[in-house]
Chain A
């Protein structure tokens, strides 16, 4: 098939990227099976599929990070041998990985020139990069301080550095792997503006995601992957989110959460004038008050970093605060020895933290050990005064894994070997099955695939319908809108206002999230 090279004349018509029969196995797992794909020059192509469908593997092969077992790659109609990332870069391919490949204590400039220096000494490279950075920043809205250290930058800015890295290496083809997983809605919008700008300049963009809305918003064509196979490639204009979701999961998916109106009961949680000052002396919560009743989901919306995390930490018992918290009419200590996670759990508060990998789970530990964490004092888990009953914990874990459809349902597997959605299900199983009066949930579906999102949403609704109170913190407005019975928007450590989902829309909430209070409703709570 290599004879294609003779048709060099037709280069403009040739697709920017063409994959033919790519297969790749990791041990017994066939990550990619005979995949063919063509992406036209100057378009944005989406690749959609659940976690583990093989999207990232396919793109890592294109970027030379892995080697395909078989198959061919053509760039602009010419057969390309891509053995490592150096080859891919030379072929004009740039990749923005889901987990950024940046050196955190380097400056932006240092990161950009790393591996693309134009000589043995850094001086010229740095000056050169500074110049191109300025032009690129202007051209594509990619503004970022060239001398800032990566560790001081927001996630959105770090991503821009990754894009700049690719552009500095003259990439014509840009692959982005789950680029919005870590972004706020406004950061995501900005990213899409950048991508459209790049497209206008004739760049070809491949966007890997499992978010349907993004696919519909920015792509020209879209391919669906499932279990290592490429199922279909269609024009975005000729498809619908429902259609794509069904192809992805292989069955019909409820995109709209199916729920009855809430029937709230007694007040479970009362928060009054909560204030937090962090280690650096910065006020993170500036007087937050709200009520949460049984059988109700209160959604806290807001751009990440406006105090939501601190609110969860205070309620979870691991950050001191001032103010007053009452649970079922009893005051909870906010400071000192009695304000801790164990006491909160004992009081009936369960917590699904925002970051499952650093707070929710110990990634190196087995699923059954993770199920025991926090509840390891449970008498059912003890053999006698000295030893824990590991067999009992494992049996308990097995049941929980089955009820929460964790796959594979093996309690002895390390947490890190589960996919994001299954990790989250483990955390949810641990917390929900304790039958708490109040469930704190932070970003329940961040980095979780669509099938699992549906499952998690249903479980939360079931818990609500069982008469429990749920405090839901999420930066996904869609999630808040579809799950919450009431929505409170946080900005700069305060609650800017409360809305009922039926009385509001994304624009209205967006304004509150940006700190614009339109005076109406109940914005006065923060004072």
Chain B
């Protein structure tokens, strides 16, 4: 593998990680606040559909992102009402939303576009195009640094840069602000927040709004940047992979980036090198490389790697004790 090929692999890794990264950070907010969110998948899916449809109709990819995020926030609020106010089972509520998104997108999509749930292909401003950073062409010929800048760093869609810029922002919000302190406290011991005179319900809802927005961006990226249309079930389990990455990252933002990049790398490898030749003896079948991210997910969820310490009150509805 030469240097350029190596860079292309990493470049693909970055593109493919973005969805997972945004979804993972979305899950981070929700779970840090004590609300299990298995519904990342559904929120991404509804957002991907709404974003594609709105982008197609309006001709603006950014409007698509906005609309997708709004749809995702609506889903997050349904989850909030069920699990925070009515103290329902958070897993069931999340799974229900996943089913709802899966059905709703296809039904509405087919009703409007008559393409079996698929939306028309986005063209022009309706889809995100790659941004060439300044001097990308100029430095391209500089050895090593040149290709890294022009191939790896430059030439992504805007949402890629947004996603990676959000990571330090999330870290800062979580560990350096009042909001972050309260958010973390409400996921660990909501009674501590309640007795301090801060509303547990309000804190959890705020967290879910952020979850909705981030999930919405993830879904919109999928249909308006990574692809140029919405396809049935196009999230393909990425919500669950993001959840696995969240556990792998121990609910921390910077580690979340690392974890999602790892998943991105596995996906990139399976895309770029479907048949890996092992010393000319045999080749690893494409099905295996494609399954790698999912296998890793299972391994992580089964707790084989490290010890994950979830927020202590995650999944537990808050009831004032009697």
Contacts and interface: CB of A to CB of B under 8 A. Distances in A.
B193 interface: yes
A328 interface: no
B188 A104 contact: yes
Interface string A67-104: 00000000000000000111111000001010101111
A93 B320 CA distance: 19
B73 to A, nearest CB: 22
Q: Which one of B182, B197, B198 has the greatest number of beta carbons of chain A within 10 Å? A: B197
B66 to A, nearest CB: 26
B188 A115 contact: no
Contacts of B189: 101-104
Contacts of A110: 181
B170 interface: no
A73 B185 CA distance: 30
Given A66-B320, A103-B185, A115 B198 contact: yes
Interface stretch (A116-124, A303-311, A397-405, A420-428): A116-124
B283 interface: no
A101 B128 CA distance: 48
B181 A117 contact: yes
B102 to A, nearest CB: 34
Interface string B182-205: 101100110111111110000000
Contact of B197 (A85, A119, A120, A122): A85
A105 B188 contact: yes
Interface string B159-196: 00000000000000000111111101100110111111
Measured as residues with beta carbon below 8 angstroms from the partner, the interface class of chain B is: 20 to 34
B307 interface: no
Given A122-B176, A122-B178, A85 B188 contact: no
A516 interface: no
B312 to A, nearest CB: 7
A156 to B, nearest CB: 19
A106 interface: yes
A88 B197 CA distance: 8
Contacts of A387: none
Contact of B191 (A66, A86, A101): A101
A106 B185 contact: yes
A125 interface: yes
B176 A121 contact: yes
B196 A115 contact: yes
A274 to B, nearest CB: 32
A283 B159 CA distance: 56
A65 B176 contact: no
Given A26-B322, A121-B177, A125-B178, A114 B193 contact: yes
Name the prevailing secondary structure of the A interface residues. Answer: loop
Q: Which one of A97, A103, A113, A165 has the greatest number of beta carbons of chain B within 10 Å? A: A103
Nearest to A119: B178
Contacts of B188: 103-106
Nearest to B313: A103
A63 B192 CA distance: 14
Interface string B127-151: 0000000000000000000000000
B195 to A, nearest CB: 4
B175 to A, nearest CB: 8
A115 B176 contact: no
A66 B195 CA distance: 11
Nearest to A31: B322
B284 to A, nearest CB: 42
A448 to B, nearest CB: 19
Given A104-B312, A106-B185, A106-B188, A115 B179 contact: no
A51 interface: no
A26 B181 CA distance: 33
A65 B319 CA distance: 12
B177 A115 contact: no
B177 to A, nearest CB: 6
Nearest to A63: B195
A115 B193 contact: yes
A113 B181 CA distance: 9
A114 B176 contact: no
Nearest to A106: B185
A121 B174 CA distance: 11
B177 A114 contact: no
A65 B197 contact: no
A324 to B, nearest CB: 37
A103 B194 contact: no
Nearest to B309: A105
B197 A103 contact: no
Contacts of A101: 189, 191-192, 194-196
Contacts of B182: 114-115
A114 B195 CA distance: 10
Contacts of B177: 120-122
A84 B312 contact: no
The 6 closest A-B pairs by CB, nearest first: A115-B196, A86-B197, A85-B197, A117-B178, A101-B192, A101-B195
7 contacts: A101-B189, A106-B188, A114-B192, A114-B198, A116-B196, A120-B178, A165-B196
Given A102-B192, A117-B178, 9 more contacts: A85-B197, A86-B197, A97-B195, A103-B184, A103-B189, A110-B181, A114-B185, A119-B178, A120-B177
